Amino acid sequence: MQAMINGPKSSSLIQLGNWIFRPLNYLEECASKYGDIFELNLLGLPPFIVVSNPQGIQDILSVDAQKFDVGRTNGLASSLLGDNSLVLLDGSSHRRQRKLMMPPFHGEKVKSYAKTICQITDKVASTWSQQQSVVAHKAMQNITLETILHVVFGLSEGERYKQIKPSLIKLLDLTGSPLKASVIFLPLLQQDLGEWSLWGKVVRCKREIYNLLQAEIDQRRNNPEAMGQDVLSLMMSARDEAGQGLSDIELKDQMMTLLVAGHETTATALAWALYWIHKQPEVKQKLLAELDSVDDNIDPLAISRLPYLTAVCNETLRIYPVAFMAFLRIAKMPVEIMGYQISPETMLAPAIYLTHRREDLYPEPHLFKPERFLERQYSPYEFLPFGGGNRRCIGYALALLEMKLVLAKILTEWKLDLASKHPSVPKRRGATVAPHNGVPLTIEGKRAHKFTKQLSISK
């Protein structure tokens, strides 16, 4: 007789409340009670099976394209990201658009963004002063938003830049709290009841951004000489095997996806990194020793390859992964996961957070220990902060580069300390989790170091 997959017996309303307001604690409680695989049933959504065993995750991710659909599990995001968003597509449509979007986010192209990231970090940090208090999450949002606007759109000044920046910040804030985030999970709340209603504000803000994106696209189509080396220009120039490019609506939906996903997630990861680095003096001491020991002529890309800096970033992404679940998969055919027979149309959810908290993989998983990434190589099914399979985050290389360079730049130039003795704890922010207090920091002053020039851009 086939074993049944267990799960909480509480009502779907209670399960939904836990999922919205305390997702990480709820996942840990369920894993403690039901093990590596269990079923959740959230009000208004189809039941789904949570998997946290690396073998089970490999069973899902390694054959993802053949046996599972992904895009149609993200239907609730269509009203925010658009029907053509990469995260909503499956099959040939997904393969085509991912291929067209891939070149700007890999290889030499990503490396070319290094100087821009350092320059933007300089620009934001130059406004700081001694004994000033800053909220790390907000400061990092300033850096990552400037980076995404510059790298993705080639915008760093001008009227359109001034318009799109506050519109995007407003859109993210509209879904920033656990209560506001409920509009993402409850279709009934996605009703435009006028400009004062929450969803009405989201709709109008999105329309504002799309109008600005269309104006930028029109300008470049009418003036080819305005095309640059930014992601939008490269995507507008890309062609598939049939010689077809992306339509205007496809471009706008993909741009919206990159703006929302590429800015907020990296800012959150950086805020967590600054928290843990200053929470544990020994980590900060080791990291500064590594940064201070490098050759005077080192370039930003070499900085990004430093082993302890890399380990600190990896441990940050392990202990509180910004996306605590990988994209849900819908079985297209009968499959076996960890000995369980899974029927077609069943939804499966690889649990990044639970996998990263497994005692058998990460001893003392609740402790921040970068050394674990120097002592062991983890498989893509044991450490997966950017998801996996053919749905791995398309911008992961840029996100990692940005994390490393921003941290190196700030830590070598500024003396910082935590402004609060109270621990920062994760709280839902939209579809992700972020520090509940944003990580308040005190700027203690400038720091003398060796390679200011190597990490700075000449004016």
Q: Give 76-124 as a DSSP string.
A: GGHHHH-TT-GGG--HHHHHHHHHHHSGGGSHHHHHTTHHHHHHHHHHH
> What pLDDT shows up at residue 155?
66
CB 444 within 8 A of CB 417: yes
Residues 212 and 223: their CA atoms lie apart, in Å, by 16
How many of the other CB atoms lie within 10 Å of CB of 108?
7
Which uninterrupted H or E stretch holds 134?
Answer: strand 133-135
Q: Angle at the Cα of 418 (from 415 to 422), degrees rounded to 5?
A: 170
> What pLDDT shows up at residue 192?
65
> What pLDDT shows up at residue 453?
47
Domains by residue range for the chain, with CATH = 12-455 (1.10.630.10)
Digit-by-digit pLDDT tens for the chain (459 residues) are 356 899 999 999 999 999 989 999 999 999 999 999 999 999 888 899 999 999 999 999 887 667 888 877 776 677 777 788 888 887 888 888 888 888 777 777 788 888 889 999 999 999 998 888 999 999 999 899 888 888 887 766 667 778 888 887 787 776 655 555 555 656 666 666 677 777 788 888 888 888 988 988 898 888 887 777 788 888 888 888 888 888 999 888 888 888 777 778 899 999 999 999 999 999 999 999 999 988 766 778 888 899 999 999 999 999 999 889 998 899 989 988 988 999 999 999 999 999 999 999 999 999 999 999 999 999 999 999 999 888 888 888 889 999 999 999 999 999 999 999 899 999 988 778 899 999 999 999 888 765 554 455 433
> What pLDDT shows up at residue 98?
85
> What pLDDT shows up at residue 457?
43
List of residues 6+ apart from 297 with CB closer than 8 A: 454
CB 82 within 8 A of CB 253: yes
Residues 294 and 301: their CA atoms lie apart, in Å, by 12
Whole-prediction pTM: 0.89
First-to-last CA distance in the chain? 72
Residues 122 and 268: their CA atoms lie apart, in Å, by 19
Token pair recorded at residue 158: 């001008």
